[in-house]
Amino acid sequence: MRTAIFYYGCELPASRAATTALRDAAVVLQAYHPLVATGQFADYFPHCSLYVYWNPTGVPADDLAGAGPGIALLAPDPVWNLARLDLRSAAARQFAARRGLLALRAAGPAAAGLFVDDLDRWAQPGPDQDAALGVVQSVLAGAGRPAGLFVNRGFAFWPRLPGLDAVLLEELTPALADGLDAGDQLWIREQVVPAVAAARAGGAACFGLTYEPGPEAPPAGDAARELAELTDGVLRGCRSLDQWPEDFR
């Protein structure tokens, strides 16, 4: 996996020449995107891998309608306008797993797997982490075929996840690491770098993602340099991730 593209809008890429020429990239789309819903992904990206977005911890509030009784919720997330599932509830876990399976099945055999977001909200060791891990395991067991995982953060989960194809460090690139205070840089060196090194040793690719404009500055501090050595590439996008890369527009 050489690079990755994240697109959460609904438009088709305008440049078919650019998409068909792209190789060895992971393309992350929502299950409702036309390339997923109509099975056209391989026509546009014949040399790339599709990962369908899945958030096992948060859902749009409207999606809870008709979900069934007993689904426990945490405080809502006003930033992303999401209802947060309490994965300690069996009904919430079943609902989250069902959504993951629907996302995977929506893409059919074209999907290499799922992009899993927001697991880090349940990364504390113990029952909470076990509950979230159980949701992912339920989806993989119910998929009926091998399905890879591309996971955003959630470092504590990585050693426990089978089929880890890639990891994303959202808002954690070498240049961003240089801007952090000493305590956070120590956290990167002691927690993040070993987690990324272990994931890469298992065959996973690692990408940083920044929403900052302008080119990525060369790493300066020890934490940034260590992170840079393990990062396959730094991706850049708008925070809503609803714009295709310029080459595809």
pLDDT at 75: 94
Distance of CA 240 to the CA centre of its chain: 14
pLDDT at 124: 86
Q: Is residue 186 part of a domain?
A: no
For 35-57, what is each residue's pLDDT tens digit?
Answer: 999 999 999 999 999 999 999 99
What total number of domains does the chain contain? 1
- pLDDT band of 69, cuts 50, 70, 90: confident
Side-chain-facing half-sphere of 212: CA atoms under 13 Å: 17
Q: Which two tokens stand for residue 73?
A: 């919720």
> From edge to edge, which strands make up the β-sheet containing 164-170?
3-7, 25-29, 49-54, 111-116, 148-152, 164-170, 205-210, 233-236
Q: Is residue 179 part of a domain?
A: no
- pLDDT band of 125, cuts 50, 70, 90: confident
Q: What is the DSSP letter of 26?
A: E
Q: Mean pLDDT for the chain?
A: 95
Q: Is residue 38 part of a domain?
A: yes
Q: Is residue 142 part of a domain?
A: yes
Contact (CB, 8 A) for 241 and 7? yes
What's the residue count for the chain? 249
Whether residue 152 has pLDDT greater than 90: yes
pLDDT, average across residues 155-165: 94
Whether residue 66 has pLDDT greater than 80: no
What is this structure's pTM? 0.96
Q: Is residue 193 part of a domain?
A: no
Q: Is residue 192 part of a domain?
A: no
Whether residue 187 has pLDDT greater than 90: yes
Domain that holds residue 12: 3-171+204-221+233-248
Q: Which two tokens stand for residue 43?
A: 């026509």
142-156 burial: b if 16+ Cβ within 10 Å, else e: ebeeebbbbbbbbbb
In the chain, the largest separation of any two C-alpha atoms, in whole Å, equals: 53
Contact (CB, 8 A) for 27 and 50? yes
pLDDT, average across residues 180-209: 97
SS3 of 105, please? helix
Q: Is residue 165 part of a domain?
A: yes
Whether residue 181 has pLDDT greater than 90: yes
Strand partners, 169: 208
Side-chain-facing half-sphere of 78: CA atoms under 13 Å: 0
pLDDT, average across residues 21-25: 97
- Residue 46: which CATH number? 3.20.20.70
For 102-124, what is each residue's pLDDT tens digit?
Answer: 999 989 988 999 999 999 999 88
Q: Is residue 189 part of a domain?
A: no
- pLDDT band of 34, cuts 50, 70, 90: very high
